[in-house]
Amino acid sequence: MPSRKYADGEVVMGRWPGSVLYYEVQVTSYDDVAHLYTVKYKDGTELALKESDIRSQSSFKPRKSQSSSSSPSRRSNTRSRSRSPGRPARGRRRSASQSREHKDEKKKTIQETALALPVLKPSENNTKRYNGEPESTEKNDTSSIILEQKLKPDLEMKHVLEQYSLRPRKDDRKKEEIYSEKKTFVAVKPVEKVPTKTKDLEFGGRIGTFMLILFLPATVLYLLSMCKQDDPSLLNFPPLPALESLWEWRVFGIILLWFFLQAVFHLLPIGKVVEGLPLSNGRKLQYRINGFYAFILTAAAIGVLLYFQFELHYLYDHFVQFAVSAAAFSLALSIYLYIRSLKAPEEELAPSGNSGYFIYDFFTGHELNPRIGNFDLKFFCELRPGLIGWVVINLAMLLAEMKIHNLSVPSLSMILVNSFQFLYVVDALWFEEAVLTTMDITHDGFGFMLAFGDLVWVPFVYSLQAFYLVGHPTTITWPVAAAVTVLNCIGYYIFRSANSQKNNFRRNPADPKLANLKFIPTATGKGLLVTGWWGFVRHPNYLGDIIMALAWSLPCGFNHILPYFYVIYFICLLVHREARDEHHCKQKYGLAWERYCQRVPYRIFPYIY
């Protein structure tokens, strides 16, 4: 194991990543596994540097000029009378001492210029400072190139003067070393992203994630079993179902067929192709946006099945078996994702799922963007099988209600639940491109958490209200239905307008239509909106989401709390996600985020939280 060179607390000179400039830093810690030093700059920024990017302060002390007595230029009796290329023209000749002072002055100016330049940091590295203006988000630091262009003529002239001097070869070698060091100092080096281990473990760490792997499937089974009971009270626990009643190969085959049918729709060469956000290595992945077309094709396929009198309420009769089969498929997919992630390059691992602990990385996702060719598994599962399946399940529940209760038309409650959630799904698919900027795509890996959530939790828990209404019909009046509809429209308006403001501002901040929006510039080059919905609360889209979730539950009445599980869970989910957002934004934007929090004090609920 290589020995450690710098001790904790030692003040050294650290190179800023992506630049050629060195600044005074203090060593705070050392990672024995990654062999990285954590250093702290004077402005409070903490970064992990390799040992090759750190130098002692003594190496930056000004070099002493050569003694006048030892300088060969002072020995005029030995100087050749021929005109040297490095000698100034006749009539403008300076003395040797003046020339040496001039060169020493240039050398000193170069060093002072390098150490006095302001810090120009890449966007992903600035975490603690705000200078009032957005900085460049380009990967290559152009300030270093400009500095090199300014200093290059002086350095070349100095090299020519020394090349044609008559000093001893020993002094020439010393000067050549100085010149080489100077060239190395001003040379532009590419940014080297050093993969780091996940240190801040979420969801309760290894124990918490292990419990969630067991708890989430059990929760789905419990909720669906409760809805089947005549009295779905919380204290009325359902009996444990027989194991043979939970599994049917035909149902599992339908789950596989559904998944691969949606994959075929996704691979069709329809819809536009867009680029995602830059990865850690600067590369941008391409995504085909055709979720709405896949929804239309799915609706056509369902219509054909209904035309040929396919009994869609079969889904209701075997609903628990469908959930178990989907859970088994998501588990198998998670195992495959983790095994393939072990061979993935370091730069393709998820920043939140690279802890080195099997259970934690398996749950959160070890690889950020697992792909089979151009087929992005995470992006596909995010909106396609589960979200479109949610609408199909709701339709099956509507048909099952009509058949079981001998209705010619669905109940008003069932119509409201289906309509509200249909609007939500269509909105997500229509604005599919917006998902590329969410935390699920940019930060979280694809593991059990997202696989189970996308393929099991979304279709089988989000449809809980419709499943509940089949066995527990609820009658509501038209005025109540109108009030609930208005509430859902308010939530949707907040949700959609807030997301549109954010997405339009990210796409083109200079759009004249957004001229009325004010923002706090950050050192990453992005701005934090402080007017519009984002000046009302920090996460207005979450507020709209929660209002809609309440509107989806109200048509089920107030006889049981079970239909309100979704809105209760959703509040907990969004509060937890908001806390994760706060942590990441504080690291990313530094003092700019603190200013934003002072300007917009409420997180989700105005005047409450």
pLDDT band at 480 (very low <50, low <70, confident <90, very high): very high
**Which ranges of 187-318 does DSSP label H, i.e. alpha helix?**
205-228, 249-267, 291-307, 314-317
| Chain segment 222-268, per-residue pLDDT in tens | 999 999 888 888 778 888 888 888 999 999 999 999 999 999 999 99
Helix or strand run (H / E) with residue 470: helix 464-471
* Mean of all residue pLDDT scores within the chain: 79
Rounded CA separation 385/372 (Å): 17
Whether residue 403 contacts residue 313, with contact meaning beta carbons closer than 8 Å, is answered with yes
Rounded CA separation 434/541 (Å): 13
Cβ within 8 Å of residue 406, ≥6 positions away: none
pLDDT of residue 351: 86
In this predicted structure, the answer to whether residue 427 has a pLDDT above a threshold of 80 is: yes
pLDDT band at 2 (very low <50, low <70, confident <90, very high): low
Nearest to 580 by CA among 606, 542, 524: 542
What's the rounded mean pLDDT across residues 21-29? 85
What's the rounded mean pLDDT across residues 102-106? 51
What's the rounded mean pLDDT across residues 416-432? 95
CATH code that applies to domain 10-59: 2.30.30.140
Cβ within 8 Å of residue 129, ≥6 positions away: 43, 44, 45, 119, 121, 523, 590, 591
Three-state secondary structure call for residue 312? coil
Q: Provide the 10 A C-beta neighbour count for residue 248.
A: 15
Nearest to 261 by CA among 384, 377, 431, 369: 384
pLDDT band at 121 (very low <50, low <70, confident <90, very high): very low
Cβ neighbourhood burial of 323 (10 Å; 0-12, 13-18, 19+): buried
**Which ranges of 508-539 does DSSP label H, i.e. alpha helix?**
none
Lowest mean pLDDT among 178-187, 316-325, 427-436, 512-521: 178-187
**In this structure, which amino acid lies at residue 579?**
A
* pTM for this prediction: 0.68
Nearest to 46 by CA among 14, 68, 73: 14
Three-state secondary structure call for residue 274? strand
- Segment of 148-162, 174-188, 502-516 carrying the highest mean pLDDT: 502-516
In this predicted structure, the answer to whether residue 592 has a pLDDT above a threshold of 70 is: yes
What's the rounded mean pLDDT across residues 544-550? 94
In this predicted structure, the answer to whether residue 80 has a pLDDT above a threshold of 70 is: no
> In Å, how far are 5, 35, 38, 50, 201 from 32, measured between CA atoms?
12, 5, 11, 12, 19
In this predicted structure, the answer to whether residue 98 has a pLDDT above a threshold of 60 is: no
In this predicted structure, the answer to whether residue 142 has a pLDDT above a threshold of 70 is: no
For residue 457, the 8-state DSSP code is: I
Percent of the chain residues past pLDDT 90, beyond the cut:
42
- Segment of 111-125, 176-190, 553-567, 583-597 carrying the highest mean pLDDT: 553-567
What's the rounded mean pLDDT across residues 34-42? 80
Nearest to 213 by CA among 317, 386, 363: 363
Residues belonging to the chain: 609
480 token code pair: 């109540």
Helix or strand run (H / E) with residue 549: helix 540-553
pLDDT band at 38 (very low <50, low <70, confident <90, very high): confident
Q: Provide the 10 A C-beta neighbour count for residue 3.
A: 4
In this predicted structure, the answer to whether residue 103 has a pLDDT above a threshold of 90 is: no
| Chain segment 379-388, per-residue pLDDT in tens | 999 989 999 9
How many helices (H) and strands (E) would you count in the chain? 20, 11
The pairing of strands 46-49 and 11-15 is unpaired
What's the rounded mean pLDDT across residues 437-449? 89
pLDDT of residue 385: 94
Three-state secondary structure call for residue 367? strand
Three-state secondary structure call for residue 12? strand
| Chain segment 400-414, per-residue pLDDT in tens | 999 999 999 999 999
Domain boundaries, the chain: 10-59, 197-474, 476-608
In this predicted structure, the answer to whether residue 160 has a pLDDT above a threshold of 60 is: no
Rounded CA separation 347/194 (Å): 8
pLDDT of residue 18: 66
Cβ neighbourhood burial of 206 (10 Å; 0-12, 13-18, 19+): middle
